[in-house]
A and B are shown apart, each in its own frame.
Chain A
Amino acid sequence: MPDTTTAAPGGRKRLVSGPGLLLVWLYGVMVVGALSRSAYQISTEFDRAPLAYSLSGAAALVYAFITYSLVRGGETARRAALFCCAAELAGVLAVGTWTLVRPEAFPDATVWSDFGMGYLFIPVILPITGMLWLRAKR
């Protein structure tokens, strides 16, 4: 893929520098948290709350993709990560509202329940800071 106009000579544009490092760390933590949680819940008690556990699994995949894009670097990855951060924010807001309006649809919590309150609101803060960071790296 020709990316010579934006990439620094000899490599892709680095997205993991300065504040980007903190961002990657927090995304990495969310990947481990969401992935292990959803893998455990889906494999042991999926029938109890299929919707909640599927949503947690989807969240984990989004986090994993954003983390990979940030580490990979380059303009294509930056755009992909930006898009996924927007999707993530939409997901957090939609699921967060959904869990508040229709709590009966969720016998158990998801990663994004109540706008990520169980995760210190990191799920709702992270995509916003992520998008600001990725815009600044343009």
Chain B
Amino acid sequence: MLDALTVALGAAALALAAWCGFAALRDQPTKDWHFIGMGVVTLLALAQLVVGVVELARGGKPDEGTVIFVAYLVGAFAAVPAAGLLSLSERTKWGSVTVAAGALVLAVLEVRLYDIWGTPGA
């Protein structure tokens, strides 16, 4: 469940990065549709945070430690909304570039989360 969410979030983050990067290439700021996309990615990240905490409560042990695992879950949840809020104050293509960078950061965090959680039962 958690691994599936991690992979899905990584893919969604890359898609969001490409989408906002495309908007930046066309010299456009982030628009309503982009914010809906950010909302979807943020909801996925929230689901991942909840599932991750539930897994911990059920006795799951992340390979690299609980503190690091939770820190990365929170960071992954915060990355895209933070970049989205910044882009609200910058109504040029640079707002789109920033959201694209935020989504790339999320994708990197997902790769790390995959390692941190490790293989279940191993």
Binding site for B on A (CB under 8 A): 16-22, 24-26, 28-29, 32, 36, 40, 44, 120
Min distance, Cβ B73 to any Cβ of chain A, angstroms: 12
**With A40-B67, A40-B68, A40-B71 in contact, is A21–B89 under 8 Å at CB?**
yes
Residue B94, interface by CB 8 Å:
yes
Asked whether B82 lies within 8 Å of A28 as measured between CB atoms, the reply is yes
For window 7-52 of chain B, which residues contact chain A by CB distance below 8 Å? none
Asked whether A25 lies within 8 Å of B71 as measured between CB atoms, the reply is no
**With A25-B101, A28-B82, A40-B68 in contact, is A18–B90 under 8 Å at CB?**
yes
A17 CA / B91 CA spacing, docked (Å): 10
Residue B105, interface by CB 8 Å:
yes
For window 65-98 of chain B, which residues contact chain A by CB distance below 8 Å? 67-68, 71, 75, 79, 82-83, 86-87, 89-90, 92, 94-95, 97-98
Min distance, Cβ B67 to any Cβ of chain A, angstroms: 6
Residue B62, interface by CB 8 Å:
no
Asked whether B82 lies within 8 Å of A36 as measured between CB atoms, the reply is no
10 contacts between A and B (CB under 8 A): A16-B89, A18-B90, A21-B86, A21-B87, A21-B90, A21-B94, A21-B95, A22-B101, A40-B68, A40-B71
A68 CA / B75 CA spacing, docked (Å): 20
A44 CA / B64 CA spacing, docked (Å): 13
A22 CA / B100 CA spacing, docked (Å): 10
Min distance, Cβ B76 to any Cβ of chain A, angstroms: 12
From A25, A36, A40, A44, give the contact of B98 (CB < 8 A): A25
Asked whether A25 lies within 8 Å of B83 as measured between CB atoms, the reply is yes
Asked whether B105 lies within 8 Å of A29 as measured between CB atoms, the reply is yes
From B75, B86, B98, B108, give the contact of A32 (CB < 8 A): B75
Task: Name the A residues within 8 Å of B82 (CB-CB).
Answer: 25, 28
Asked whether A18 lies within 8 Å of B86 as measured between CB atoms, the reply is no
**With A18-B92, A18-B94, A19-B94 in contact, is A25–B67 under 8 Å at CB?**
no
